[in-house]
């Protein structure tokens, strides 16, 4: 079920654009669809050549089966980010689906993390797949930006 803020955004996007797309929250693919409907820059901005079964986007965004179809999105997303402040990680790659570990293969042992407030950082991936910030795992609820609440991660389909 969509969080209240995301549900409100989904309704606003549907009303203002008339998009036929399902704007759900079960994956990062679905959570990025409102951007396709409003900005319309195409799917390629959500793709990177990761080691998972990625497929270069085909730029067909007219239905749920074509807009950010499985494999066309390479970025994981932190759902409910409206409760977090500037400096909170919100989009990242190459996160291994279903985990909080990064795959070191695609980018030479590095992870790319986008933060609320328009900053982007590149981190070294530890041998166990973790990314550290402030001496702690990026996803540790004790990180100040999570405010004690584990992040609600959504992975690509």
Residue extents of the structural domains in the chain: 76-154
Residues 6+ apart with CB under 8 A from 97: 52, 76, 155, 156
Q: Which pLDDT value is given to residue 1?
A: 40
User: Tens digit of pLDDT for each residue in 98-137?
Assistant: 999 999 999 999 999 999 888 999 999 999 999 999 899 9
What confidence category does residue 146 fall into, taking pLDDT thresholds of 50, 70 and 90?
very high
Using CA atoms, how far apart are residues 26 and 23, in angstroms rounded to an integer?
9
Query: Residue range 17-35: average pLDDT?
Result: 82
pLDDT at residue 69, as a whole number: 83
Q: What is the pTM of this model?
A: 0.85
State residue 60's pLDDT score: 77
């Amino acid at each position: 079920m969509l969080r209240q803020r995301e549900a409100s955004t989904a309704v606003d996007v549907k009303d203002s654009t008339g998009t036929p797309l399902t704007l759900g929250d079960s994956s990062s693919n679905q959570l990025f669809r409102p951007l396709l409907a409003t900005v319309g820059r195409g799917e390629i901005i959500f793709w990177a050549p990761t080691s998972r079964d990625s497929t270069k986007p085909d730029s067909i965004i007219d239905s749920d089966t074509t807009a950010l179809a499985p494999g066309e999105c390479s970025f994981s997303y932190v759902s409910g980010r409206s409760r977090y402040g500037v400096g909170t990680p919100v989009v990242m790659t190459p996160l291994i689906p279903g985990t909080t570990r990064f795959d070191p293969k695609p980018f030479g042992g590095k992870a790319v993390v986008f933060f609320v407030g328009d900053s982007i950082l590149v981190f070294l991936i530890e041998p166990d797949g973790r990314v550290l910030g402030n001496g702690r795992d990026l996803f540790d609820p004790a990180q100040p930006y999570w405010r004690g609440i584990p992040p609600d991660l959504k992975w690509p389909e």
